[in-house]
Structure 1
Amino acid sequence: MPRGDDRAGADAATGGGSRPARVSESDRWFVALDVDGTVMHEDESIDPRVADAVASAVARGHLVTLATGRSWATTRPVLEHLELEPDYVVCANGAMTMRRDPTAPDGWVREHVETFDASPVLQQIREELPGGRFLLELEDGFRLYTEGMTDWNLERARQVEFDELLGQRAIRIVATSVDHELDEFFRVVEQMGLNHVSYAIGWTAWLDIAPDGVNKATALERVRGWMGLPLQRVIAVGDGRNDIEMFHWARAAGRAVAMGQAPAEVVGAAAERTGTIDEAGLAPVLDSLP
């Protein structure tokens, strides 16, 4: 049952009381959206203008999905809020791709998962950040975390001692420090010389680590191949350092759009810039599609 605000957004897109015209298959875009800072505010709210624009883009025939650093457990509620039902969703910065399957018990299956041995990088980071706090996400989405990770969603998670994180195969590690400002944290991470993993630094002193060579771009390219979609019809929108590879991928032939509040290096990786999350900057980007 469509939401009332979805209908309002569709009407606004066409200037009146008719549903938006659907584009031809050759004119539809593959739309990859970051979640936090792009679709969703820090307080987990979504601007009605953004929800309307997403609904209208889908109604016009565009293929809209999410590409996020979030776990699947915290990504699915965003899909439900938007009433979005894509064929594939990219989670954990590309380490997990979910596929919609109506025959599955909960409607989704893990289509592709990348794991790595968490022990070496955990021990390396612990040496440099003895006061660090850690969260490790397992292949099944369950998470283990150390004391102090109070700012993170901890559903399907259990607190453990650091040593219990060792010997695990993970799809993602998050390391945070309360002892460093962001600039200092950058310097510490650079000095670590992390090898054989992919990583991105967040808005504050936290580090997001994925298997080597794995990021949102690698997962989205795999999805694009599965769906047989042209690269010149992809558009990616985001605001974080973990979106940089995604922007390089999208702008190769399509569009890469940074949110207005994105850091300079993220804006530099994109080809376009829109308004901030507080200005519902995603909405005009989606409305610009045919």
Structure 2
Amino acid sequence: MVDSALEPGSSRTGWQPRLVALDIDGTLLKWVEGGGLTHEEIAPPVYDAVHRALAAGAHVVLASGRSAHGMTTVADLLDLHGEERDRLWVVSSNGAVVFRYPPVEVVHEETFDARPAVEAILEHHPDALVAVEERGVGYRVNRHFPDGELTGEMTLAEIEEIVSGPVSRVIIRDPNATAEDFVRLGERLGLHGINYVVGWTAWLDLAPVGVSKASGLARVAGELGVGPEHALAIGDGRNDIEMLQWAGRGVAMGQAVDEVRQAAHAVTESVYDDGVAVELDRWFG
């Protein structure tokens, strides 16, 4: 349901986002149909709209499930940094890691014991791929993931080693299952003590309890002196739901599943129709 108080030309005159939080895959970057990965290219209308927001004085924050090293290239593509601007605030790993860039300087990191959850999931999906972030390098994995699904180096290791200590994020991927399989599995297991998010495919992100893009953004907003009522957030995935609900205006991309659309204040055009540019032009056009 759209909050009319945040519609352009509404009675809340003069409202303009002071913080713009943008998801990456499926929001800034277009999905490769059937490929499970995105084109690493920013559409010119999106680039221009983001820079109009910057020129108006808004803080642009990238917020993604990606690891830190998988987000800096997108910041570079958008030219979000430079001598005339402060260093970026970036929320990575679904909120578990908050860092400044450039260079990468981790400001906050949340970790947890993932072993019980991983073991429980593997009982139901014994052939699943498991990855744990190695910040600044890549991932430790039990087997190689499909090309393009992870960024950085993949180092092979046994499951026992992968979850032997505290981690900020775990990815579980089963190419032989569906997203719906993982949704049902999460509901059945309960997965107590952690947060979990199911992606577009049979892709499960595990994070510390209470950690989400929203918690990471709340930390950044506090540093910037911006309240959530002055934030605009745009995303397309289940891992964006808390972020869309946290922001004064949360906007779902047009291709988002119903669960995400229902959590948002409004729905913009799809990523294939440059929905980010359409939404930003409402406020910075």
Q: State the TM bucket, normalised to the shorter chain.
A: 0.7 to 0.9
How far 1:27 moved relative to its partner? 5.2
| Mapped partners of 1:260, 1:27: distance in 2 | 22
The one-letter code matched in structure 2 to 1:278 is Y
| Mapped partners of 2:151, 2:273: distance in 1 | 30
| Mapped partners of 1:203, 1:269: distance in 2 | 17
Counterpart in 2 of 1:125? 121
Q: Does 1:156 align with 2:153?
A: yes
| Mapped partners of 1:46, 1:242: distance in 2 | 21
Task: Note closer, same or farther for the CA distance 1:224–1:178 as it changes in structure 2 (3 Å cut).
Answer: same
- Which of 245, 249, 273 matches 1:255? 249
User: What are the Cα deviations for residues 42-73 of structure 1, in whole angstroms up to 9, with x where unaligned?
Assistant: 22222111111111211121111100000011
Counterpart in 1 of 2:45? 49
Counterpart in 2 of 1:232? 229
Counterpart in 2 of 1:38? 27
- Which of 54, 60, 63 matches 2:56? 60
The one-letter code matched in structure 1 to 2:260 is V
| Mapped partners of 2:124, 2:214: distance in 1 | 29
**Count of residues in Structure 1 that have an aligned counterpart in Structure 2:** 258
Judge which range, 114-123 or 267-276, deviates more.
Answer: 114-123
Counterpart in 2 of 1:108? 104
Q: Percent identity?
A: 39
Secondary structure of the corresponding residue to residue 21 of structure 2? strand
- Which of 259, 271, 279 matches 1:277? 271
User: What are the Cα deviations for residues 134-158 of structure 1, in whole angstroms up to 9, with x where unaligned?
Assistant: 1111455542012141242241331
Structure 1 residue runs of 5 or longer lacking an equivalent are 1-23, 101-105
Task: Note closer, same or farther for the CA distance 1:27–1:48 as it changes in structure 2 (3 Å cut).
Answer: closer
Secondary structure of the corresponding residue to residue 71 of structure 2? helix
Secondary structure of the corresponding residue to residue 210 of structure 1? strand
The one-letter code matched in structure 2 to 1:229 is V
User: TM-score, structure 2 length as denominator?
Assistant: 0.85
Task: Note closer, same or farther for the CA distance 1:64–1:154 as it changes in structure 2 (3 Å cut).
Answer: closer
RMSD: 1.8
Task: Note closer, same or farther for the CA distance 1:154–1:37 as it changes in structure 2 (3 Å cut).
Answer: closer
Task: Note closer, same or farther for the CA distance 1:157–1:181 as it changes in structure 2 (3 Å cut).
Answer: closer
Asked whether the equivalents of residues 67 and 135 of structure 2 are also in contact (C-alpha less than 8 Å), the reply is no
Q: Which has the larger radius of gyration?
A: 1
Structure 2 residue runs of 5 or longer lacking an equivalent are 1-13, 31-37, 82-86
| Mapped partners of 2:17, 2:229: distance in 1 | 11
How far 1:191 moved relative to its partner? 1.5
How far 1:269 moved relative to its partner? 0.2
- Which of 238, 256, 277 matches 1:241? 238
Secondary structure of the corresponding residue to residue 83 of structure 1? coil
How far 1:219 moved relative to its partner? 0.8
Counterpart in 1 of 2:8? none
Relative contact order (alpha carbons < 8 A, sep ≥ 6): 1 or 2 greater? 2
